[in-house]
Amino acid sequence: MKDKALVLVLCFLGVLAVGYGMVNKNHPVFVAGLVLLIAGYLMMRKKLKTYIREKYTSEGNGKRTKET
């Protein structure tokens, strides 16, 4: 649960910083916002990849199967 909150906070702060940096032409804030967004995206991507890998490799022979 803490990971979800951390990703949410990182992405939210990143969006705010990017918006503020664009409106006020503040380049360091804009770049910091991009860094926060990228960090949040990478954390979310890592969790999704782990979830998908566990879901599909736990079934059967370790090969991916398509459920119908």
From first to last of its 68 residues, what are the pLDDT tens digits of the chain? 788 899 999 999 999 999 999 999 999 999 999 999 999 999 999 999 988 998 888 765 555 556 55
Does some domain include residue 62? no
pLDDT of 56: 86
Count of structural domains within the chain: 1
pLDDT of 11: 94
Cα 26 from Cα 36, distance rounded (Å): 16
pLDDT of 66: 60
Please name the helix (run of DSSP H) or strand (run of DSSP E) that holds residue 40, with its range, or none. Answer: helix 27-57
Does some domain include residue 17? yes
Does some domain include residue 61? no
Does some domain include residue 60? no
- Domain residues for 47? 2-55
pTM of the model: 0.73
Q: What angle do CA 32, 3, 58 make, to 5 degrees?
A: 125
